[in-house]
Amino acid sequence: MKTAPKLTFANLPKTYEELFYLHMPRPIRSKAAYDNIREVADALAGHKLNADQDDYFALLCHLIETYDKENSPPDLHSA
């Protein structure tokens, strides 16, 4: 069975359109979708991004943050 190559910054597209076709951002509704978006976001994180990459990365981060807020366990220490 072939596995997909690990995403790295070097092999990611440079334009928003190409990034979109690599992984079309959608609201995250499952752990698998979360893991897929995190893989792309992690490959972009920490690099000098062009404007298209930066916009795409910001969208992925927003989706991740929204999912995390909606799916994190309640804070037992807040009163």
pTM above 0.75, yes or no: yes
The amino acid that residue 59 corresponds to is L
What sign has the CA pseudo-torsion 13, 15, 19, 22? negative
- Cβ atoms 25, 18 nearer than 8 A: no
Q: For residue 22, which of 32, 9, 49 has the smallest C-alpha distance? A: 9
First-to-last C-alpha distance (Å) of the chain: 51
Q: For residue 8, which of 51, 39, 50 has the smallest C-alpha distance? A: 39
Question: Could you report the per-residue pLDDT of 58-67, keeping only the tens digit for each?
Answer: 999 999 999 9
- Residue 74: pLDDT band by 50, 70, 90 thresholds? confident
